[in-house]
Amino acid sequence: MAGSTSNKLARKRLAWLLVIFIAFAGLITTATLTKVSGATLVPQLALDLQGGTQVILKPTVNSGSVASAEQLAQAVDIIRQRIDSTGVSEAQIVTQGEGADAAIVVSIPGKPSDSTLELIKASAKLEFRPVLVTGAGTSALVTSAPTKANPNPTPTLPASSPIATSTATPTDNSDLNWVSKDLQAQYEALDCSKQFRTPGQVDDPAKPMVTCDRGRTAKFILGPVELDGTQIAKASSSAVTTSAGSATGQYAVDLTFNDAGKTSFGNVTKRLFPLTAPRNQFAVTIDGYIITAPAIQAVITSGTAQITGGFTSDSANALSNQLKYGSLPIGFQVQSQENISATLGSQQLQNGLIAGAIGMLLVLIYSLFQYRALASITIGSLVVAAGLTYLAITLLSWRMDYRLSLAGVAGLIVAIGITADSFIVYFERVRDELRDGRPLSVAVAAGWKRAWRTILVSDIVSLLAAGTLYFLTVGNVRGFAFTLGLTTIIDLVVVTLFTVPLLSLFSNFKFFSSGNSWSGFEITTATGERYVGRGTFREVDPSVSRNKKSLGEAAKRQTIAERKAAANNGEAGEQ
Amino acid sequence: MSKFSEFGNSLYNGDRSFNFTGKRKLWFAISAVVIAISAILPFTLHNGFNFGIEFKGGSEFTITGGASKGVDLARQTLSTSLPGKEVVVSTIGTDTVRVQTPQLSDTNSEAVRLALAKSYAVDSSAVSSSFIGASWGSDVTGKALNGLLWFLALAAILMALYFRTIKMSIAAMAALLHDLLITAGIYGSFGFEVTPAAVIGFLTILGYSLYDTVVVFDKIRENTEGVEHSATATFSERVNLAINQTLVRSINTTVVAILPVAAILFIGAIVFGAGTLRDISLSLFIGMLVGTYSTIFIAAPLYSQLREKEAKFVEAAQKVLAKRD
């Protein structure tokens, strides 16, 4: 009766494990067969084992000046954080050369997509500038994209309308006196349909500028910078919903300003609000291109803003990541982009795998020696753990750009120890219960109850390590944290859904319950004293639930042990 | 059946008992000596720790038109012109070989450049040299240390909550520090270069060591529950019994965990001569042994020492000892 329910539970757990296996394998196979980008049947390897792409970024600075070492170091830091925001690929970013030859070399495993390249090299200089003059980027009448701040933008006139120019000193950033003759000529010559900015171009924040929106449909003269990306405390992306909560299919980047930003933004809205169109608009520019130019409809002092305007889910996410980690201190352009071979090569991986396989064989021999027939469960569990790990890292190299490096392989090999420890702890607890005189079926259940607590708390400590390091570190350390977390979760899954139910099913067999000398459960040492105890235990405690009794029981049980230990201590001299 | 199983039985029921907590002064003294040696050795033998180009930056050479001759030629050339230095060689694009070495002086750098040009039979102008920065720079290290401190603080809090005593956290952290110092010291005294892989190895060890300590501490928690009411055993005896009762588990786990690492270290590195694998498996191998040792000989005895002076345990122990006499 008790046996049959525990058997049912054991079968249910094994069924769950099968479900997980089929789900993972099915997901990977389906995605690969339907050619979902990035999905493969084998895990992706990191830079050291597989090579990848090397992108050399040259700083774009005005002739005569050079990028300083601090600027380069800062750029490396920001680029690393941006790459980390896309997954755990463990890219390598270094500075190369000095002075005028300086460059940043980014090595990424595999082939970077256009959006990854954009993410790396974009300066992501976010600026808010007041609109002074606007007109069609080409000759057609245009409407700028509707925005949250301005849901119904009025069509703007073609650029033919005359612009007043002035030589007087401007009084504030919205002053039309900024529009000099030079600027006017630039504005009129500007054709948005052509390339009008050099890559990595940097604009003087204290001066007005001419530019186009990203859709290249309208051109603008913008006043000096009111506030910039350094005044953003937080950036995130979200799907835009209507007031009723339904999705509009649009995506937005949400910004929260810091205190300084909050004040400047409030002041801008205060100044722009009473002005006439288009001077009541401000433009949000990223690297000189206007993303949106909404009109001010209220004075905003809350310190938050939402940018909309033709974002996809990906581009909104990329922009918010760029803003989150700050803009690059200098502009960059891609100088070269070439394949790079693995630094370690397949030989190292192969050697590692051969040595690992030999190690596994030694583990097999040792467990046979230690656990006899039980070794089948040990080895089975390790094989299941290996299979699950393979599926998980394959899935994650598709979903999270996880790349297996040589250090990662070593981490997985150490994980063998931690996984094996779970069932070693369990087996030893079962043996302890047997030593206390319980029959195997009871010992298996009671041993698990006590082992589970130990396994859970030690794995939670490991998960805590993994989580903390994952969120607080960058690069290789973050990759390590990811591997640690992954293998710990797999350990928990394997021990609960495979080792435990299997042992519980095995305990039904006479071979094991009789304590056959090959079963691994033979506990034959002199138990004369305890045989008395065994009968007692059986009477009061035939089931698993022994918690209430445990204190008194422990006292009884440990009497012999303690007496002996005390005797030993006595010999050792108690001082 | 096996002697080992009898060994386990006798440890469990107390027929056989190793006095781990009682002889703690000896263990602490041994560890203090080992720590002192491992702090000195890297400096007396190898001029301190030898950090790799990933940490310090270095020199880089590119050989245009050399890819057809392969990367091993560059390794051979460098092994004669820069003996004993770790180099990283890879191909870039279709025809370029890239060689990264530790930072070289201008004269050395020129010599290497000419040697590479000669080996690859290209004009010396086809080999360019420049400096490269550290890929594992101070910002990566800074964030790693920050993350590590947070993790240790959180782990200490979690353990204090679970075990209901801060003293287990203190003992565990002391053991971690012990492991880190010894592992780093022994690694350094081999004179191997400190690579990112080795650092990841150290981190793995920290995780493993803490895990191992928690497993044994959980048994100690179980054994010492209500010990102040026991008429037969003192606190430190119960701690010692817990270590003895988990000794078979500690031995089995260590053997199983260390076999694959040892296989990589000895077979992989000695037979195949693997480079990076040698670094990481060495740090893992030392760390696992030290981690297991510290749980049994440092963390648990230290915990016993920290707590047995508590009034309730002293009182209980006096009664127990009085009864024995």
Say what the pLDDT of residue A20 is.
Answer: 93
Q: Is 50 exceeded by the pLDDT of residue A574? A: no
Residues A292 and A316: their CA atoms lie apart, in Å, by 13
Question: Average pLDDT for residues B42-64, to the nearest whole number?
Answer: 85
Kindly report, residue by residue over B190-216, the tens digit of the pLDDT: 888 888 888 888 888 888 899 899 999
Q: Is 80 exceeded by the pLDDT of residue B319? A: yes
DSSP line for B123-149: -GGGEEEEEE--SS-HHHHHHHHHHHH
What residues of chain A, 365 to 404, have a C-beta less than 8 Å from chain B?
366-367, 369-370, 372
Say what the pLDDT of residue A252 is.
Answer: 83
Say what the pLDDT of residue B176 is.
Answer: 93
Confidence of residue A1 (pLDDT cuts 50, 70, 90): very low
Confidence of residue B150 (pLDDT cuts 50, 70, 90): very high
- Chain A contact probe: residue of B256, B285, B305 with most A CBs at under 10 A: B256
Kindly report, residue by residue over A37-87, the tens digit of the pLDDT: 778 888 888 888 888 888 888 887 766 677 788 888 888 888 888 888 777
H or E element that contains A391: helix A375-399
- Percent of chain B predicted with pLDDT > 70: 96
Q: Is 90 exceeded by the pLDDT of residue A489? A: yes
- Three-point CA angle A93, B190, A415, nearest 5°: 65
When CB atoms are compared, the residue of B150, B238, B259 closest to A366 is B259
Higher pLDDT, A195 or A234: A234
| Residues A413, B264: C-beta atoms closer than 8 Å | yes
Confidence of residue B175 (pLDDT cuts 50, 70, 90): very high
Helix, strand, coil percentages for chain B (3-state, nearest 5): 70, 10, 20
| Residues A410, B284: C-beta atoms closer than 8 Å | yes
Kindly report, residue by residue over A247-279, the tens digit of the pLDDT: 777 888 888 888 888 888 888 888 888 887 788
For chain A, give me the number of helices (H) and strands (E)?
A: 16, 13
Say what the pLDDT of residue A197 is.
Answer: 77
Higher pLDDT, B54 or A200: B54
Domain ranges of chain B: 3-50+137-324, 58-132
Residues B171 and B300: their CA atoms lie apart, in Å, by 7
User: Could you check whether the bond before residue A130 is cis, i.e. omega within 30 degrees of 0?
Assistant: no
When CB atoms are compared, the residue of A94, A454, A477 closest to B135 is A94
Å between B291 CA and nearest CA of chain A = 13
Say what the pLDDT of residue B80 is.
Answer: 82
Note the ipTM here. Answer: 0.84
Place of tokens 């890819």: B67
DSSP line for B182-226: HHHHHHHHTT-EE-HHHHHHHHHHHHHHHHHHHHHHHHHHHHHTT
Residues B121 and B129: their CA atoms lie apart, in Å, by 17
User: Which CATH code for domain B58-132?
Assistant: 3.30.70
Q: Is 90 exceeded by the pLDDT of residue A540? A: no
Say what the pLDDT of residue B93 is.
Answer: 82
User: What token pair was written down for B12?
Assistant: 């469990």
Å between B225 CA and nearest CA of chain A = 8
| Residues B281, A93: C-beta atoms closer than 8 Å | no
Question: Average pLDDT for residues B116-122, to the nearest whole number?
Answer: 88
Residues A240 and A146: their CA atoms lie apart, in Å, by 13
End-to-end CA distance of chain B: 38
Under 8 Å between Cβ of A439 and A82: no
Average model confidence (pLDDT) for chain B? 86
What secondary structure letter does DSSP report for A142?
B
Under 8 Å between Cβ of A109 and A47: yes
In terms of Cα–Cα distance, which of A268, A56, A40 is closest to A149?
A268
Question: Average pLDDT for residues A393-411, to the nearest whole number?
Answer: 84
| Residues B137, A76: C-beta atoms closer than 8 Å | yes
Query: Nearest residue of A to residue B150 by CA position?
Result: A468
Q: Among A175-184, A464-473, A559-568, B155-164, name the one with the lowest average pLDDT.
A: A559-568
Residues A225 and A211: their CA atoms lie apart, in Å, by 14
Higher pLDDT, A464 or A166: A464
Q: Is 80 exceeded by the pLDDT of residue A549? A: no
For chain B, give me the number of helices (H) and strands (E)?
A: 13, 6
Say what the pLDDT of residue A564 is.
Answer: 55
Confidence of residue B301 (pLDDT cuts 50, 70, 90): very high
Say what the pLDDT of residue B149 is.
Answer: 92
Kindly report, residue by residue over B85-95, the tens digit of the pLDDT: 778 888 888 88
Question: Average pLDDT for residues A455-468, to the nearest whole number?
Answer: 89
| Residues A366, B255: C-beta atoms closer than 8 Å | yes
In terms of Cα–Cα distance, which of A401, A107, A83, A524 is closest to B91?
A107
Residues B163 and B58: their CA atoms lie apart, in Å, by 48
Domain B3-50+137-324 annotated CATH 1.20.1640.10 = yes
Going by their DSSP bridges, the two strands B50-51 and B193-194 should be labelled as parallel
Q: Is 50 exceeded by the pLDDT of residue A158? A: no
Q: Is 70 exceeded by the pLDDT of residue B53? A: yes
Question: Average pLDDT for residues A390-410, to the nearest whole number?
Answer: 85
Q: Residue B285 in 3-state DSSP? A: helix
| Residues B22, A569: C-beta atoms closer than 8 Å | yes
Confidence of residue A494 (pLDDT cuts 50, 70, 90): very high
Say what the pLDDT of residue B260 is.
Answer: 85
B249: chain A residues, CB-CB within 8 Å = 421, 424-425, 428
Kindly report, residue by residue over A92-136, the tens digit of the pLDDT: 888 888 777 888 888 888 887 777 777 787 777 778 888 888 887
Say what the pLDDT of residue B243 is.
Answer: 92
In terms of Cα–Cα distance, which of A172, A42, A55, A33 is closest to A105?
A55
Higher pLDDT, A445 or A38: A445
Q: Is 90 exceeded by the pLDDT of residue B5? A: no
| Residues A562, B233: C-beta atoms closer than 8 Å | yes
Question: Average pLDDT for residues A501-530, to the nearest whole number?
Answer: 66
Say what the pLDDT of residue B275 is.
Answer: 64
Going by their DSSP bridges, the two strands A232-241 and B88-92 should be labelled as unpaired
Say what the pLDDT of residue B194 is.
Answer: 85
Give helix B166-189 / helix B24-46 axis angle, nearest 10°.
Answer: 30
In terms of Cα–Cα distance, which of A353, A395, A340, A432 is closest to B277?
A353
Q: Is 90 exceeded by the pLDDT of residue A140? A: no
Confidence of residue A149 (pLDDT cuts 50, 70, 90): low
Say what the pLDDT of residue B22 is.
Answer: 85
Q: Which residues contact A314 (CB under 8 A, 6 or more apart)?
A: A115
Question: Average pLDDT for residues A469-496, to the nearest whole number?
Answer: 88
| Residues B200, A94: C-beta atoms closer than 8 Å | no
Query: Nearest residue of B to residue A570 by CA position?
Result: B324
Say what the pLDDT of residue A530 is.
Answer: 35
DSSP line for A502-535: HHHHHTTSHHHHTT-TTTT----S--HHHHHHHH
Q: What is the pTM of this model?
A: 0.75
Q: Among A345-349, B45-49, B172-176, name the one with the lowest average pLDDT.
A: A345-349
Å between B285 CA and nearest CA of chain A = 10
| Residues A355, B268: C-beta atoms closer than 8 Å | yes
Say what the pLDDT of residue A362 is.
Answer: 87
